[in-house]
C-alpha cells in the first residue's frame, strides 16, 4: 500500500527576536515562553537560541532588569504565533520611568517638602501635611533609583537623613538613625545601580562613600578619601556610575575619580584637575557621557569639559567657559544631551543652551533666558526629560516648565508655583 502524500515540505524551525533600545549597563535577561534565557549586553538586534516550529506560540518577557536602575525595560509586540517567517519585531524599550513624586531640601526651613507630579502635564502640587523635618540646614536631596529611599545632607549637624518613601502616597518617614559625614556635608549623589551613596564634605575636604542596603536603605560608611585642595562642593556621577566628578570651591577645579564597581570606593585619576571658575557649586554630566559642565557662582559662567569615556579624564573646552546672566548656581542637562539649563540666582532667570554634539560648545537658545522664581538655585529635569523644574533659594517656590524637544524652549506651567519650606537647594524625583 502506498502511503498518503502529506502536503508541504519539511517543518523549518523559525527564530524569535527583535531589537533593544535605550539599554544602560548590564544584567538584562529576556525569556521566551518562560525559558530560553537570553542575556542582552547592548542595544541592537537579538534572537533567542531555540527556534520554534510553525504554529507554536511565543511570549517574550523580561526576567531580569539591568543593573542601572535609572532605566526600566519593557516588552511590546512580545507575543503571538510563529507562522511562516522569523519573528523580528519584538521590541524591548529601556527608558526612565515617569516620576510621581518630587522632594525639595529646604535649607531655610530645616525640612523636606513632598510634591505630587502629574505624569501627563508635569504640574507639581505640594502634598498637604507631608513635609518632614530634617537636620539643620539641609543642603541637597537625592533619591535611590529604586524609588524606595530619599537621602538628605544636613550641613550643620554633619550627617545624612535617610527617608523611606511610601510609594502610594509619597509620604516620607525617617526610620533610621542619621549617619555621620565629614564636617560641612553639601551634596549627596546615589550610584545608578542604587548600591552606593557619595557625600562631599566642604569643610573637612573629603568625599564620604557609603554602601546602601537595598532592603532598608541603611547607609554604611566605607571610606572618605581626602582631596588635595580644600572645599569639595558639587558632585555628579557619569550615567553608568564608573566615574565621579567633584567641583572644589577653594582650588576652583573639577576633579575626576574612578569608582570601583564592587566596593564603590573612589580613586583619584592621575591627570591634573582642570581649572573651573570661582566657586563651582553646580556640576552636571551629559547623560550620553560626552561632556561635563560646572556652574561657577562667583564669576557668573559655566566651564565646559570634554570627557574621555574610557579613562574618565576631562579636557577643558575651547573656549573654556561661557558667560551667564548672573551668578550661575545650578545646571541640568536634558536626557537626550541636546540642551543645558543654568539658574542665574542674581537675575532671577534660567538660561538655556543647545549643546554641540561634537564639541560640547554651548550656544544660547532664542530667547536666551526665561523668567523664573526669585533667587533660583536648584534646577532639575524629571526622569523622562519632558519637564524642567527650578527651585527658589529664598522662598522655596518650585516653578515647572514644559520642554520643547525640538527647540529647547521652556513654557511655564499653568498655575501658581507651590512653595516649599524655604530655600529649595535640591530637587529629587521618585517614580
What are 115-147's pLDDT values in tens digits? Answer: 999 999 999 999 988 889 999 999 999 999 999
pLDDT of residue 225: 66
Q: Which residues pair with 299 in a beta bridge?
A: none
Nearby residues of 302 by Cβ (< 8 Å), 6 or more positions away: 277, 293, 294, 295, 296, 321, 322, 324, 328, 331, 340, 342, 362
The model's confidence at residue 6, banded by pLDDT at 50, 70 and 90, is: very low
Question: Which cell numbers in the block locate residue 17?
Answer: 527576536
Higher-pLDDT residue of 63, 251 = 63
For the chain, what are the domain ranges?
16-95, 101-430
CB 100 within 8 A of CB 27: no
* Residue 8 pLDDT grade (very low, low, confident, very high; cuts 50, 70, 90): low
Contact 147, 110 (CB under 8 A): no
Q: What is the residue-averaged pLDDT of the chain?
A: 92
Whether residue 66 has pLDDT greater than 80:
yes
For residue 142, give Cα distances in angstroms to 90, 97, 198, 302, 426: 35, 16, 10, 23, 8
Using the predicted structure, report yes or no on whether residue 416 has a pLDDT greater than 80.
no
CA 375, chain centre distance (Å): 24
DSSP 397: B
Number of H helices, E strands in the chain: 0, 38
Let me know the angle formed at the C-alpha of 90 by 84 and 92, rounded to the nearest 5 degrees.
170
**Residue 10, pLDDT score:** 58
101-430 has CATH 2.130.10.10 classification: yes
Cis status, amide bond into 253, omega within 30 of 0: no
Residue pair 214/194 in contact by the 8 Å Cβ criterion: yes
The DSSP call for residue 52 is: B
- Residue range 74-96, pLDDT digits in tens: 999 999 999 999 999 999 999 99
According to the model, what pLDDT value does residue 183 have?
Answer: 94
Please give the average per-residue pLDDT across 40-45, as a whole number: 96
Q: Which residues pair with 387 in a beta bridge?
A: 402
- What is the tens place of the pLDDT at every residue in 209-268? 999 999 999 999 987 665 655 789 999 999 999 999 999 998 899 999 999 999 999 999
288 or 325, which is more confident: 288
How much is the pLDDT for 162?
Answer: 97
pLDDT of residue 198: 96
Q: Copy the grid coordinates of residue 384.
A: 523622562
Residues 6+ apart with CB under 8 A from 360: 286, 290, 291, 304, 305, 306, 317
The DSSP annotation for 268-310 comes to E-SSPPPB--S-EEEEEE-TTSSEEEEEETTTTEEEEEEE-TT
> Could you give the CA distance from residue 224 to residue 235 in angstroms, rounded to a whole number?
14
The 10s digit of each residue's pLDDT in 149-197 is 999 999 999 999 999 999 999 999 998 899 999 999 999 999 999 999 9
Amino acid at each position: 500500500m502506498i502511503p498518503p502524500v502529506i502536503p508541504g515540505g519539511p517543518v523549518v524551525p523559525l527564530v524569535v527576536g527583535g531589537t533593544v533600545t535605550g539599554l544602560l549597563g548590564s544584567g538584562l535577561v529576556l525569556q521566551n515562553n518562560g525559558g530560553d534565557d537570553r542575556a542582552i549586553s547592548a542595544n541592537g538586534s537579538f534572537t533567542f537560541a531555540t527556534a520554534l516550529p510553525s504554529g507554536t506560540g511565543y511570549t517574550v518577557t523580561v526576567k531580569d532588569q539591568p543593573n542601572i536602575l535609572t532605566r526600566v525595560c519593557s516588552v511590546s509586540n512580545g507575543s503571538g504565533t510563529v507562522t511562516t517567517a522569523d519573528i523580528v519585531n519584538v521590541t524591548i524599550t529601556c527608558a526612565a520611568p515617569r516620576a510621581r513624586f518630587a522632594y525639595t531640601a529646604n535649607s531655610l526651613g530645616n525640612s523636606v517638602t513632598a510634591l505630587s507630579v502629574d505624569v501627563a502635564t508635569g504640574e507639581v502640587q505640594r502634598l498637604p501635611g507631608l513635609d518632614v523635618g530634617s537636620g539643620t540646614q539641609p543642603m541637597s536631596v537625592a533619591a535611590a533609583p529604586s524609588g524606595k529611599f530619599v537621602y538628605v545632607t544636613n550641613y550643620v549637624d554633619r550627617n545624612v537623613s535617610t527617608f523611606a518613601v511610601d510609594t502610594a502616597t509619597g509620604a516620607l518617614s525617617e526610620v533610621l538613625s542619621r549617619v555621620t559625614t565629614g564636617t560641612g556635608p553639601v551634596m549627596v549623589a546615589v550610584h545608578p545601580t542604587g548600591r552606593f551613596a557619595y557625600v562631599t564634605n566642604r569643610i573637612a575636604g573629603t568625599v564620604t562613600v557609603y554602601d546602601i542596603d537595598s532592603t532598608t536603605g541603611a547607609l554604611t560608611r566605607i571610606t572618605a578619601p581626602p582631596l588635595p585642595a580644600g572645599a569639595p562642593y558639587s558632585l555628579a556621577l557619569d550615567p553608568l556610575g564608573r566615574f565621579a566628578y567633584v567641583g572644589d570651591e577653594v582650588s576652583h577645579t573639577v576633579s575626576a575619580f574612578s569608582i570601583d564597581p564592587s566596593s564603590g570606593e573612589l580613586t583619584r585619576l592621575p591627570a591634573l584637575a582642570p581649572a573651573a571658575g570661582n566657586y563651582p557649586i553646580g556640576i552636571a554630566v551629559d547623560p550620553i557621557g560626552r561632556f561635563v559642565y560646572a556652574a561657577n557662582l562667583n564669576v557668573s559662567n559655566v566651564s565646559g569639559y570634554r570627557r574621555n569615556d574610557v579613562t574618565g579624564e576631562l579636557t577643558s573646552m575651547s573656549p573654556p567657559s561661557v558667560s551667564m546672566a548672573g551668578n550661575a548656581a545650578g545646571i541640568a542637562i536634558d536626557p537626550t544631551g541636546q540642551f543645558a539649563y543654568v539658574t542665574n540666582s542674581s537675575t532671577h532667570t534660567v538660561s538655556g543652551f543647545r549643546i554641540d554634539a561634537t564639541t560640547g560648545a554651548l550656544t544660547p537658545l532664542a530667547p536666551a533666558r526665561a523668567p523664573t522664581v526669585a533667587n533660583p538655585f536648584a534646577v532639575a529635569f524629571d526622569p523622562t526629560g519632558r519637564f524642567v523644574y527650578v527651585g527658589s533659594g529664598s522662598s522655596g517656590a518650585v516653578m515647572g516648565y514644559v520642554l520643547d524637544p525640538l527647540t529647547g524652549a521652556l513654557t511655564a506651567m499653568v498655575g501658581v508655583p507651590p512653595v516649599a519650606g524655604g530655600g529649595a537647594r535640591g530637587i529629587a524625583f521618585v517614580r
